[in-house]
Every structure is written in C-alpha cells, then in structure tokens.
Amino acid sequence: MNRSLPAYLTVLGALSALLVVVVYVSLTNGSFDLAAWDVLKTLLRLQANPDYDLVIFDFRLPRIVVGLLVGLGLGIAGAVIQGITRNGLADPGILGINAGAGAAVVLFMLVFAGQIKGAGWLSVMAMPLFGLVGGIGTAALIFFFAWHRGVLDPQRLILSGIALGSGLGALAMYISLKMNPQDFEMAAVWMAGSIYNANWRFVLAVLPWLLVLIPVIWSKSRQLDLLQLGRTTAAGVGVAVHKETNLLLLCSVGIVSACVSVSGSIGFVGLLSPHLARGLSGHSHSRVIPLSGLIGMLLVTASDFIGRQLFAPVTLPAGIVIAIIGAPYFVYLLFRGQR
C-alpha cells in the first residue's frame, strides 16, 4: 500500500536532511578537522587557503561526491533488478553482476598496467565501458541459467548469481596476482569496495551514465509496476514485456558497471535500499526509485565516513562496512521468505 503524498514528501525531506548532515560531518571531520565556517569560506572562495583547498577539493569533496553518485546508482539499479525479477533477494552484488563488471575492470587494469595510479583521462573514461561488457555478459549468463520452462525461476536466479559471482571473483583475484605490486595493491583495495582514491576524473567518468540512464529508468516506472503482476498479465495490458525487461536490465547493468569501475564491488546497497524504500513509501516505482537512490547515497557516504574514522589512521573500505550490515539483513530476508 502506498503512503499519502504528504507522508512520502516528509520521508523524502527527512532523509535528504540526514544526508546533508552526513555530508557535512564527512567534510569537516578527519585527520585534519575543519570548522564549518572555514569550509563555507573555502567553498564560496571568500578566503583562499592552500591547506583548506587541498583537504576539501583534492581529498574529501571528490570522495564524498563519488560516494553519493555510486550510492545513487546502486540503489536505483537494485530497485530495478528486484522489480524485473520480482525477487526481493535480487541485488547486483548477490547476482554476480558486480563481480562480472569487476573482473572486466581488473582485466583492464592489467592490460593498462602502470597507467591506473595516475588515472589518465583515457583509462578513467574507458573503465566503465569494460565494466559494461563484463556486466552484460554476466547478466546474460545468469538469466540463461535461471530461465526454466519459459519463466524466470527466482531460486535459480539467486543460485546462478552466487555461483557466477564466486567464479568471477576468483578470476579477478587471479588476474590481479599477475599485476606489478603497485597496481596489485590498488586492485586489492578496489575489489573490497573502496572510494579512497576518488578524484574529479572519477566523477566525470560515472556522471554521464547516471544522467542518461536514470531518467530512462524513472520514465519506465509504470511498466515496472505492471511487471509485478506477472509477465502474462503485463503483456495482456499492453506492456511489451521482452523489450521493456531488456531495456531496463541494460540500463541497470550500465549503471552498475559505471559505479563498479570507480568504486569497486560495493555489495548490498542494491539489496537494502529498495527494501527500505518500499517500507517507507509503498510499492509504486515512481516513488521507490528516487527513494532507493537517496537511501543508497546515505548508505555509501555514511559507510565511507565510518570506515575512514573508526580505525583511523587505517581506512576500512566502504564495501566492508556495508557488508557488515547487509549480510545479516540478507540472511533475515532469506529466512523470512521461507516462512
């Protein structure tokens, strides 16, 4: 059941305010603490200070922006994949799509060894394309194995995704072992799901994908709602089921691949965000999609800050922090579904 519009807008406003607080705390706190007034003066260019410029514009702000974009993309992609499969346990990470995109990006790192640390424009912009190929190939294999007697079997979908994800994760690790020590160190941290090395080039690499694909997904909200009735019923009310499913899947894989290329494999965002969004707004995808994106932004940004502060000066990757929350929740959903 959908909540009333005022209630939905209240939830949206409250989460937005919470996100602003998390961004503020992440921007002002760290090994070098900044006062709010100093941050404001630096951002508005009221008082130029080289030390503040370095901390804000070179280290913290790119990391925060990349975290926001990655959370937005993964949250929305998770909502779409759960909508297509009609499976609340579906998630780009659990289904192995993250692993497929990640393996392709690690292969890219090996081929262009030594160029990743400097993050040249060509390498940064090409990484999402490699990830897209890996993600689409993995998604196609998963759907091939999960298709049974003309329908998508939810159990086969999860099992196929876990199996392929494990295999591709092992492949990515094997490829990374062929790298030189410097690139291997970065690849190992990246595979854990970290945005510690974020910069403005990473922002420009992922932003076009989100700007193009998210509006396409949101415009298909009604079709996603109708797909929840089943493929036969949806086709009966005029939905081109095969065409719409393929388009939505392609958009989701494109978003996931772009996000994985700059942040590594951050799992469970696509699982947690849609569940929380549906609990707060109802089942209409025109509301679930933006709310899933907002919750994803909050999860990734908060997890990155926690990982950066909890064991300082050692940084815990955001992917590990989210996994600590997401793994028990996945088990809870699994057992709840068996009742």
Q: What is the rounded (10 degree) CA torsion for 23, 302, 92, 180?
A: 90
Sole residue written with tokens 């492949």 = 171
For the chain, which residues make up each domain, given as ranges? 5-337
pLDDT in tens, the chain (339 residues): 677 888 899 999 999 999 999 999 999 887 777 888 888 888 887 777 788 888 888 888 999 999 999 999 999 999 999 998 888 878 888 778 888 888 888 888 787 765 544 445 566 677 777 877 888 888 888 888 877 776 666 677 778 888 888 888 888 888 888 887 777 777 777 777 888 778 888 888 889 999 999 999 999 999 999 988 887 888 888 888 888 888 898 899 889 888 888 888 888 899 999 999 998 988 899 999 999 999 999 999 999 999 888 877 778 888 888 988 888 887 777 777 555
DSSP state of 93: T
Rg, C-alpha atoms of the chain: 20
Q: Which CATH superfamily is domain 5-337 in?
A: ABC transporter involved in vitamin B12 uptake, BtuC (1.10.3470.10)
Residue 260 makes CB contacts below 8 A (sequence gap 6+) with 98, 101, 102, 105, 131, 135, 266
Q: For residue 111, which amino acid is it?
A: V
Per DSSP, what are the bridge partners of residue 108?
none
**What pTM does this model have?**
0.89
Tell me how far apart the alpha carbons of residues 316 and 322 are, in angstroms, rounded to a whole number.
11
- Calculate the alpha carbon distances from 21 to 26, 44, 93, 295, 315 in Å: 9, 19, 28, 14, 21
